[in-house]
Amino acid sequence: MGSPPNTEDAAIIDAGIEEAVELPSTRPNDLRHYLQQRVAASHREPSAQSPRQTAPRPLKAGNGRIRPILKSLDAVLNHVVAAANGEAPRALLVSSASPKADAAAEAIEIARGFVAKRERVVLVDLTRSASAVSGALGLPRAPGFTDLLAGRAGFEDVIRIDPDTALQVIPAGNPAIKSDGDELARFGRLFDALTKAYDCVVLHADYDAAKKLKPALRLELPVMVAVLPKGASAKGGQEDLSEFVRLGCPIVVYEQDGKGARSGFFGRVAAMG
C-alpha cells in the first residue's frame, strides 16, 4: 500500500477525524480539504464490496460487437446523457480504444461540456504517455495524478483550473513515478473520494492506462466513451473495443473525423436535459 498523500493526510488518519457528512462548497480549498478527509476515511473503511460491485449493469454489446459508432461529439454527448438518465454522469471514462488514437481533445471537450450542466466537474488525467490533457490546456503536467497516487503530492498540489472555463483539472503528473504497494487499491480510494466531492468526474486515459486500471474501474462507471482513430470503422475491427466490455457499463464509441474537437460542442450543453 502506498503512503498517505502528505503529512496532513497522515495527521487526519492518526487523529481519526470522522468523514464529512455534507459535500463541501464549490470553492477549491474546501474541495481539497474534503478530499483529504475522504481518503483518510477510506483507510478505516472495511474492504467489503460496495453495492455497485455486486450488481453488473447491462452492456451495450452483442455478439462481440459494440454499436453504434458515432462520428460527432454532439451525438456522443446525447448518448452519455441518456445513459445517465438525462443528467451528467457521476463518473465517465474517456479513453482511446486503440493505441493509434489520442482521446485528450475529446476528454477536454466533454468535461467542459458538463461544466455547463454541473457546478463541480473535474477532469482527471490517468495517462502516462505523451497524450496528456495538460499540453492542450496550457497547464503544467506535474505534479499531477501519478504524484498523488504515489503519495508524493496532496490534492492541494495537483488541482488546477482550466484557463477558459470553471473546469477543475488534475493533470497526468510525472510518468516516471511508480507507486509502492497496491496501486489499484489506492486508485480506488482516490476515485471514491473524487466521486464524493464532485458532481461529475471525467477520467481521461490512453489505451494502456485504461487496460491497466480496468480491474479497479469494473462496475464503477455509469458509462465509457471509447475513441477510435479516423477510418477504424471501415476496417471492421473490434479487437481493441473488446478490451473494455468487462468494465460492465454502456460503451459509447466515437470515431475521430480528423478535424479536431468542435468549438461549439460544449456551448450547446446547457440547453440539454
In-domain check, residue 26: no
- The chain-wide mean pLDDT, for the chain, equals 76
Q: Distance (Å, rounded) from C-alpha 111 to C-alpha 123?
A: 6
Whether omega for the bond prior to residue 68 falls within 30 degrees of 0, making it cis, is: yes
In-domain check, residue 173: yes
- Three cell numbers at 171? 493533470
pLDDT tier, 231 (very low <50, low <70, confident <90, very high otherwise): confident
Decide if pLDDT at 21 tops 90.
no
Mean pLDDT of the 142-154 span: 95
pLDDT tier, 268 (very low <50, low <70, confident <90, very high otherwise): very low
Among 122-126, 185-189, 223-227, 260-264, which is the least confidently predicted range? 260-264
Q: Which domain holds residue 244?
A: 59-271
Q: Distance (Å, rounded) from C-alpha 142 to C-alpha 148?
A: 10
Over residues 158-204, the pLDDT tens digits come to: 999 999 999 999 999 999 998 777 889 999 999 999 999 999 999 99
CATH of the domain at 213: 3.40.50.300
Instruction: Decide which of 267 and 120 is more confident.
Output: 120
Q: Distance (Å, rounded) from C-alpha 162 to C-alpha 138?
A: 9
The total domain count for the chain is 1
For 173-256, list the strands marked E by DSSP: 200-205, 224-228, 251-255
In-domain check, residue 113: yes
| pTM score | 0.76
In-domain check, residue 29: no
Q: Distance (Å, rounded) from C-alpha 66 to C-alpha 98?
A: 14
Q: How far is the first Cα of the chain from the last one, in angstroms, to the nearest whole number?
A: 42
Mean pLDDT of the 91-118 span: 91
Is residue 216 within a helix (H) or strand (E), and if so which, with residue range? helix 207-217
In-domain check, residue 209: yes
In-domain check, residue 2: no
**Residue 113 confidence (pLDDT):** 87
- Three cell numbers at 35? 478530499
Mean pLDDT of the 93-122 span: 90
In-domain check, residue 16: no
Contacts 24+ apart (CB under 8 A), 55-58: 55/219, 56/219, 56/248, 57/219, 57/222, 57/248, 57/249, 57/250, 58/250
Q: Distance (Å, rounded) from C-alpha 172 to C-alpha 175?
A: 8
Decide if pLDDT at 245 tops 80.
yes
In-domain check, residue 71: yes
